[in-house]
Amino acid sequence: MSAWVEPIAIEAEQSKRSAEVGSRLMRLLEQLNDENTGKTLRPSEIAEQMGEERAGEVEKWFLGRAEPTFAQLDALAKLFAVSPGWIKHGNNTMFPIENHRLPEDAVEAATWLSEWEDSEPVDAIHLVREASKTGSLLVIKESTRHQFKVFATGIHVSEEIGNGGESMLTHLWVTLALLYKRYTRGSRHFMVFSYLAQPNTYKQMTSGQVNALTLLRDCEKTPWWEDAWDQSMYAKNTYWKGWKELCERIARAIARNDRLSTQLDAIKRGDMAAAMPGEAHTA
């Protein structure tokens, strides 16, 4: 009797795993196709992107009729920047949220922002400030393949900061100035956008369960990143309560720092050689 029961039990467990993986893959596909871009990603296209010779087997994965290998699931996780643990076992969140402190060096920070991985350029940088008193900052990188990664920076773009927070903002201001010059000079082919996200939307972005690019549609898009470091713009717009006061405070802090003030002045003049010794050719 056991000779019959054991194979049936194994087959049932395999079928269950296939169905669970297929369910996760379909959920991922739904999230990826919820960007309102007019393009629908199909399993056959995924098969092609993975380098598979035919689509039939990959389509079975999504239908829960066949189970991909762990190596194939790892490849899918890398392709769509999702958590390997989630796609293989249902552990963790679908989209990982990484903690990343921006380098204090503006060149390093701007380079990190404008690169996806392995020096591959990003397609867009999304800077999301929570529309709250603390003003927490998220960075969302979007690849040329419309993948995305979400990074919690630990930066608070608000007056709710101490001396350490003020120092982080002075370096952020100079980084944004450099990013703006690279962006407007066309030497780096990427777009930069900044937003204000209501707390509930911001919380969803950090949940790791929802396509963050989709949630950007619910955010207020404003050019605060372009104006934060430019004193001539402080009185022209009010992006949030305390905007002008915060920008003036950070401008004063930069003015007290000879290195940062010299670097920011050089960036504004477009003198990349002075702003970034040894890096002018990359600016």
pLDDT tens digit string along 186-196?
Answer: 655 789 999 99
Token pair belonging to 217: 């549609």
The mean pLDDT of 184-211, rounded to a whole number, is 90
pLDDT confidence of residue 159: 87
CB 29 within 8 A of CB 41: yes
Q: What six digits make up the tokens of 165?
A: 């927070």
- Cβ atoms of residues 144 and 123 within 8 Å: yes
Q: Does residue 216 surpass a pLDDT of 60?
A: yes
Q: What is the pLDDT of residue 47?
A: 93
- More confident position, 282 or 64: 64
Instruction: Give the pLDDT score at 281.
Output: 42
Q: Would you say 103 and 109 are in contact if contact means Cβ atoms under 8 Å apart?
A: yes
Whether residue 205 contacts residue 197, with contact meaning beta carbons closer than 8 Å, is answered with: yes
What average pLDDT does the segment 165-183 reach? 94
- Which among 16, 189, 174 has a CA at the least distance from the CA of 110? 174
> pLDDT tens across 249-269, in order?
999 999 999 999 999 999 998
Percentage of the chain exceeding pLDDT 70? 88
State the burial class of residue 89 (Cβ atoms within 10 Å of its Cβ: 0-12, 13-18, 19+).
Answer: middle
Here the tokens at position 158 are 């608000």
3-class DSSP state of 156: strand
For 153-179, what is the mean pLDDT?
Answer: 91
Give the mean pLDDT of 3-12: 50
